[in-house]
């Protein structure tokens, strides 16, 4: 990337992941400024994005002479509104390029239930699951849990950063785990727990970055292990199992995601991969996994963010050239940006 760009970084919002989002946004903004770009941070909790004029953008505390079009929006907006297709729809209508997946792919990926349906349809291994709703009876909850069996994982359908997620190894833990999940979403999933290793693969369009094996003293890679624990280890194996990368790419194709994403998997004791989810706005903090994977192949944070932006701009150019929108079937099946 040669010419400096005018970039708006969207971060913050009102979701439960607000603080992590602000940290991601600050890291992205700092990296792009180091690259010489004109960067402005914008918090959707403090403004109405529908009213923003992206073609004549004036940042706060800047003179009228500084009004200029925005070249692209970098999404560092985690959780509800940022990952569920809402902000993507706003930016699509405005015609401004933005990083990451389009509205429909984002909507499906953010719903664990919808994503798992897509995985199953494409023959991608994902742990068995049942959907639970807060308005269902406790008897229905227990019958569903019996069908999965112990150990199982309870998680909100639409939430990130492992918030509201509990591993249940004893039936005495089940009710509290379900109550914790319903704090974040009235719809939850129970999922068969997969003993084995935890892996994650960041993907930039068709390019898989080096897989990371996660070692933690916690039962799983929960919120504390992700953002606070000092004993979490992020391991780059010299020869990671090929099935990890292959399955991650298949999961991305199943959801038709584009740009930067991150696939979380389990590798069971027999060496079989199981996809848990695809994150369409992965974390970009100093502890986050995607920047670690990028650094492994020699990309510093500035180069990584610039490559993500290039993906967004190229995707927008292709979409404009072919008169495409982000409707299913309106563009080539493999990611255009």
Q: Which tokens in the block code for residue 229?
A: 């624990």
The HSE-up count of residue 91 (CA atoms within 13 Å, CB side) is 28
Once rounded to an integer, what is the mean pLDDT over residues 69-78?
97
Once rounded to an integer, what is the mean pLDDT over residues 234-258?
98
Find the catalytic residue in 83, 264, 306, 326.
264
CB atoms closer than 10 angstroms to residue 85: 23
pLDDT at 68: 86
pLDDT at 335: 31
pLDDT at 336: 31
Is 264 annotated in the active site? Answer: yes
Structural domain total, the chain = 2
Tens-digit pLDDT profile for residues 265-282? 999 999 999 999 999 999
Once rounded to an integer, what is the mean pLDDT over residues 271-295?
96
State whether 147 and 74 are in the same domain: no
Cα separations (Å) of 254 from 118, 250, 261, 275?
A: 6, 6, 13, 11
State whether 86 and 132 are in the same domain: no
State whether 163 and 81 are in the same domain: no
CATH of the domain at 62: 3.40.50.20
Is 80 annotated in the active site? Answer: no
CATH of the domain at 132: 3.30.1490.20
Alpha helices in the chain (DSSP H): 18-34, 86-94, 103-110, 112-121, 138-148, 174-182, 223-227, 242-255, 289-296, 301-322
Once rounded to an integer, what is the mean pLDDT over residues 261-267?
98
Is 238 annotated in the active site? Answer: no
d(CA 247, CA 122) in angstroms, rounded, equals: 11
Residue 72 buriedness (CB in 10 A; 0-12 / 13-18 / 19+): buried
pLDDT band at 62 (very low <50, low <70, confident <90, very high): low
Is 139 annotated in the active site? Answer: no
User: What is the extent of the structural domain holding 33?
Assistant: 6-100
Owner of token pair 């200029």: 68
Q: Which of 59, 84, 100 is the last residue of a domain?
A: 100
pLDDT band at 101 (very low <50, low <70, confident <90, very high): very high
Tens-digit pLDDT profile for residues 306-321? 999 999 999 988 877 6
Is 277 annotated in the active site? Answer: yes
The answer to the question of residue 186 being in a domain is yes
pLDDT band at 66 (very low <50, low <70, confident <90, very high): low
Is 111 annotated in the active site? Answer: no
Is 279 annotated in the active site? Answer: yes
Once rounded to an integer, what is the mean pLDDT over residues 95-122?
98
State whether 23 and 92 are in the same domain: yes
pLDDT at 218: 64
What angle do the packed helices 103-110 and 112-121 form, to 10 degrees?
100
Find the catalytic residue in 261, 279, 288, 311.
279
The answer to the question of residue 64 being in a domain is yes
């Amino acid at each position: 990337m040669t010419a400096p760009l005018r970039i708006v970084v969207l971060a913050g919002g009102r979701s439960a992941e607000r603080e992590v989002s602000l940290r991601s946004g600050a890291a992205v903004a700092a990296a792009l400024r180091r690259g010489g770009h004109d960067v402005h941070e914008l918090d959707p909790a403090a403004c109405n994005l529908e009213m923003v004029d992206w073609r004549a953008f004036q940042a706060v505390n800047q003179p009228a002479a500084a009004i200029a079009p925005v070249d692209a929006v970098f999404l560092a907006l985690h959780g509800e509104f940022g990952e569920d297709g809402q902000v993507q729809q706003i930016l699509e209508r405005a015609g401004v390029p933005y990083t990451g997946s389009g509205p429909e792919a984002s909507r499906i990926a953010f719903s664990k239930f919808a994503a798992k349906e897509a995985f199953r349809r494409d023959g991608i291994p994902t742990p068995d699951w049942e959907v639970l709703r807060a308005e269902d009876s406790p008897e229905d909850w227990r019958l569903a849990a019996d069908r999965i069996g112990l150990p199982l994982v309870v998680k909100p359908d639409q939430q990130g950063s492992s918030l509201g997620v509990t591993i249940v190894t004893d039936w005495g833990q089940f009710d509290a785990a379900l109550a914790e999940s319903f704090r974040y979403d009235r719809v939850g999933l129970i999922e068969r727990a997969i003993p084995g290793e935890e892996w994650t693969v960041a993907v930039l369009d068709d390019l898989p970055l080096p897989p990371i094996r996660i070692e933690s003293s916690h039962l799983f890679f929960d919120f504390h292990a992700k953002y606070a624990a000092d004993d979490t280890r992020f391991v780059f194996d010299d020869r990671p199992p090929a099935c990890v990368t292959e399955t991650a790419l298949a999961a991305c194709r199943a959801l038709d995601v584009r740009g930067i994403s991150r696939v979380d998997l389990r590798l069971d004791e027999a060496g079989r991969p199981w996809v848990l989810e695809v994150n369409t706005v992965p974390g970009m903090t100093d502890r986050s996994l995607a920047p670690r994977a990028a650094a492994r192949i020699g990309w510093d944070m500035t180069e990584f963010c610039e490559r993500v932006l290039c993906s967004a701009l190229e995707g927008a150019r292709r979409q404009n050239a072919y008169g495409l929108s982000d409707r299913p079937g309106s563009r080539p099946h493999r990611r255009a940006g």
